[in-house]
Structure 1
Amino acid sequence: MRRWRRWIRCPTPGGPTIGVLLSNLGTPDGTDYWSVRRYLAEFLSDRRVIEAPRLLWFFILNALILTTRPQRKGKDYATIWSHDRNESPLKTITRSRAEQLQQSIRDGLLGDTRANVIVDWGMRYGNPSLKAAVERLVARGCERILFVPLYPQYSAATSATACDKLFEVLASMRRQPALRAATPYYDEDTYIEAIADSLDERLFGTGFEPDVIVASFHGMPLSTRIAGDPYYAQCHKTADLLRTRLRLPRERLIVTFQSRFGRAEWLKPYTDETIKALAANGARRIAVITPGFTADCLETIEEIGQENAQYFFDGGGEAFARIDCLNDSSRGMRVIEAVVRHELGGWI
């Protein structure tokens, strides 16, 4: 594994203006039917996300899914929505990360460099868009852009489609900035340590020792793994490193996959079925971590913290701890800072 704990050498005065663009999946603009429908239409029309025959999927999406699903998902979003900011936690956290990263750079994160580094952020789906973010960076003189999709594990449906969208934006520009995309960091020491320390701290606060720790990653159709997507293997590598770091046997920290929909087979074991089975088989205290998510969102707060917690309690479970994502905590920021520091090493 690479080690990030190093400083970037000092460049000569008058260095380049470099943009750092953080990207997350996205969020609807509101919880109402039309806001959620617009978001889902963009998300579920992505060929990287839904690898199905286009004509068939067009009918299913428009005639079935977009007529009913927006209302249901809108109600789910309403349970986690920030009414003060009128936005989802994912947007709040991603903005905060960009602001904190910019301050860290001003405070010397990159060493004594004369390069001007500007941080911005955008979403693959919804607002603020990647297009708007790139336009802002270029308008501020950025000749180079480091693109950082906030996904520890690589998947065509996450990292690749984010890059696709950015390439689409650049394709419309006559004078393009140079582009570099950050590599996945699923096995990096800083990331593994941050997840493990966050888990230790949270469990210390709960006052109970879990019988099992469930590492729940976002699900993908099984067909993506068969087609060669490395996501499944990278998720298991993350879990293996966490077990080593926490000194746990395999049966005490297990891997599952959540958020499936449709009738096709997805990566197994499924989170909801596993949690029900744990309760049925006598587990009384469990903790759930979501190492594939860098920021809390609908899938972690509502799906894990509410829906799956209820499955566990209904089955006889007594204690359930949902471990927060790293979010914009000091640990979370150290991970992103390490990624940026490493990737910018060859540029400044």
Structure 2
Amino acid sequence: MSDSPIPASGASGQDTATTAVVLVNLGTPSAPTAAAVRRYLAEFLSDRRVVSLSPWLWQPLLRGVILPLRAPPVARKYASVWLDDGSPLAAYTRRLAVAVQRELPGVRVVDAMRYGEPALPATLQRLQAEGVRRVLVLPLYPQYSTTTTAAVGDVVARADGLQTRLVEDYHLEPDWIAAVAQSIREHREVHGAGEHLLFSFHGLPQRVADAGDPYPLQCEAGAHAIAAALGLEPSQWGLAYQSRFGRERWLEPATATALVELAEQGVRTVDVVAPGFAVDCLETLEEVAMMLAEDFAARGGSLRYIPCLNDSPAHARVLATIARRELDGWQ
């Protein structure tokens, strides 16, 4: 993380705000190299929220086998989508924070990552050192999960000396539903409507859902709300889960499997949207828009990926609305 101060909100010369909003995303390697990917994955996959195996069993396997094997091919995947100003996830998250800042001129808005840089713990410490006393932490996960949102909460709970509040989810936020639905309409106005709309959410081990994690139910509720806003019939859309890791059973159906089944049913044009991701990243751009699109094309179809909300004005307004409501109700 840079040693430069986190800029205050508002016009030049304005007193440093004592309230801040921190937009938190998952994280990303600092460069599309095997070494950077290895450092990032080592931190990410060492969190017991992500992999619950005993460190005595997991760490030798992670560092001796998984990281050496996975880092080089994953780095090549990152290189295929890397932007001039960094990874898509980092670049869009920074731009989104700037856009939300414009909507909240009286509050400081910064971005941070749960894993990688800018690190959330260091960001909170710096805000406190610069005079901030109250921090609203808004994870960029519309759906709550113990593997993502709760991992952010772990860091927030350790932030001594700050008043903190955590936004746990916004999967049924009316403005968010409307923004995602409108982005789908606008994409279809330009490219035409596909025969089927597939909602693709990040996967989760089935055992986590079985233990009571609300994530899949929130994915389903949000997808139903967006489909209703679009006026779609049940036969016109579906839901699936992508980005599996490891050999255990994950949430089903898998996005890859759902696309195969659609192709076998004779569907030739599929629109895919990933509303579980606030901004585009490796999983949307490389996995869906490139890899799965190529697989579907090999079966005679056309997959049209609909981008995330990213740093759009509509997305900034949604997050600003959530932040205002949380701050106004915070005594």
- When normalised by structure 2's length, the TM-score is 0.92
Contact 2:99 2:313 in 1 (8 A): no
Alignment of 1:127 with 2:106, yes or no, is no
Task: Provide the rounded CA distance (Å) in 1 between the counterparts of 2:17 and 2:200.
Answer: 41
Alignment of 1:164 with 2:154, yes or no, is yes
User: How do residues 134-145 of structure 1 correspond to structure 2 at under 5 angstroms?
Assistant: 134-145=124-135
In the other structure, the counterpart of 1:234 is: 218
Task: Provide the rounded CA distance (Å) in 2 between the counterparts of 1:121 and 1:93.
Answer: 10
In the other structure, the counterpart of 2:102 is: 103
2:199 is paired with a residue of what secondary structure?
Answer: strand
Task: Provide the rounded CA distance (Å) in 1 between the counterparts of 2:179 and 2:304.
Answer: 18
Deviation, structure 1 residue 52: 2.1
Moved more, 269-278 or 46-55: 46-55
Distance 1:16 1:250, change over 3 A: same
Task: Provide the rounded CA distance (Å) in 2 between the counterparts of 1:221 and 1:293.
Answer: 18
Alignment of 1:306 with 2:296, yes or no, is no
1:20 is paired with a residue of what secondary structure?
Answer: strand
Moved more, 42-51 or 14-23: 14-23
2:213 is paired with a residue of what secondary structure?
Answer: coil
Task: Provide the rounded CA distance (Å) in 2 between the counterparts of 1:15 and 1:218.
Answer: 38
Contact 1:28 1:35 in 2 (8 A): yes
1:217 is paired with a residue of what secondary structure?
Answer: strand
Q: Of residues 268, 276, 284 in structure 2, which corresponds to 1:284?
A: 268
Contact 1:280 1:316 in 2 (8 A): no
In the other structure, the counterpart of 1:38 is: 39
Deviation, structure 1 residue 162: 1.1
Contact 2:156 2:164 in 1 (8 A): no
In the other structure, the counterpart of 2:208 is: 224
| Partner amino acid, structure 1, of 2:279 | A
| Partner amino acid, structure 2, of 1:227 | A
| Partner amino acid, structure 1, of 2:133 | E
In the other structure, the counterpart of 2:257 is: 273
- When normalised by structure 1's length, the TM-score is 0.88
Distance 1:16 1:254, change over 3 A: same
In the other structure, the counterpart of 1:262 is: 246
Task: Provide the rounded CA distance (Å) in 2 between the counterparts of 1:59 and 1:135.
Answer: 32
User: How do residues 164-203 of structure 1 correspond to structure 2 at under 5 angstroms?
Assistant: 164-168=154-158, 170=159, 173=160, 176-203=161-188
Contact 2:144 2:169 in 1 (8 A): yes
Deviation, structure 1 residue 305: 0.1
| Partner amino acid, structure 1, of 2:100 | L
Deviation, structure 1 residue 316: 1.2
In the other structure, the counterpart of 2:321 is: 338
Moved more, 58-67 or 233-242: 58-67
Task: Provide the rounded CA distance (Å) in 1 between the counterparts of 2:102 and 2:173.
Answer: 23
Q: Of residues 105, 108, 130 in structure 2, which corresponds to 1:118?
A: 108
Task: Provide the rounded CA distance (Å) in 2 between the counterparts of 1:333 and 1:258.
Answer: 26
Task: Provide the rounded CA distance (Å) in 1 between the counterparts of 2:157 and 2:36.
Answer: 26
Task: Provide the rounded CA distance (Å) in 2 between the counterparts of 1:260 and 1:299.
Answer: 10
| Partner amino acid, structure 2, of 1:278 | L
Task: Provide the rounded CA distance (Å) in 1 between the counterparts of 2:140 and 2:44.
Answer: 17
Deviations 1:37-85 (A, max 9, x none): 0000000111111122332222321221111101010000001111x32
The percentage of aligned residue pairs carrying the same residue is: 41
1:157 is paired with a residue of what secondary structure?
Answer: coil
| Partner amino acid, structure 2, of 1:320 | L
Aligned residues: 317
User: How do residues 8-47 of structure 1 correspond to structure 2 at under 5 angstroms?
Assistant: 17-47=18-48
The CA RMSD measured in Å over matched residues stands at 1.6
